[in-house]
Amino acid sequence: MAQQLKSHWYHILLSLAGGARHGLAIARDVRQSSTGGLRLWPATLYGSLEALSDLGWIEEIDDPSRRPDASERKRYYGITRAGRAALDGETQRLADLVRLARAVSRRQGV
């Protein structure tokens, strides 16, 4: 997975790697873990969730706490094995990048 992953996809995958969540919870999680830097606006959030589902990286799962009669059901998502692989690949890519950057700056004595 040498190709760069969209950063909000990465963050969504990262959030789901910590457990199944629904959309708004993902957005909150992402916002916190990126220390407020990344805000997922509704269409971006749900558009990404759609796209990631289409790729098979995440899947919709049953709401663990859903009561049978809940009228407005929230969709819960969990990460799939393919999703985890994509996440790991990107993490590796980023780690390589950081290593490279550190090495360069050390050589220049920064």
Q: How far is the CB of 17 from another protein (least distance, A)?
A: 21
Residue numbers at the binding site for another protein (CB under 8 A): 22-24, 27, 39, 41-47, 49-50, 72, 74-75
Instruction: Tell me whether residue 41 or residue 94 sits nearer to another protein (CB atom).
Output: 41
Instruction: Tell me whether residue 54 or residue 108 sits nearer to another protein (CB atom).
Output: 54
Instruction: Tell me whether residue 75 or residue 99 sits nearer to another protein (CB atom).
Output: 75
Q: How far is the CB of 89 from another protein (least distance, A)?
A: 23
Q: How far is the CB of 58 from another protein (least distance, A)?
A: 14
Q: How far is the CB of 107 from another protein (least distance, A)?
A: 36
For every residue of the chain, which 3-state class applies, written as one string?
A: CCCCCCHHHHHHHHHHHCCCEEHHHHHHHHHHHCCCCCCCCHHHHHHHHHHHHHHCCEEEECCCCCCCCCCCCCCEEEECHHHHHHHHHHHHHHHHHHHHHHHHHHHCCC
Q: Cβ(68)–Cβ(76) under 8 Å? A: no
Instruction: Tell me whether residue 7 or residue 92 sits nearer to another protein (CB atom).
Output: 7
What's the gap between Cα 77 and its chain centre? 11
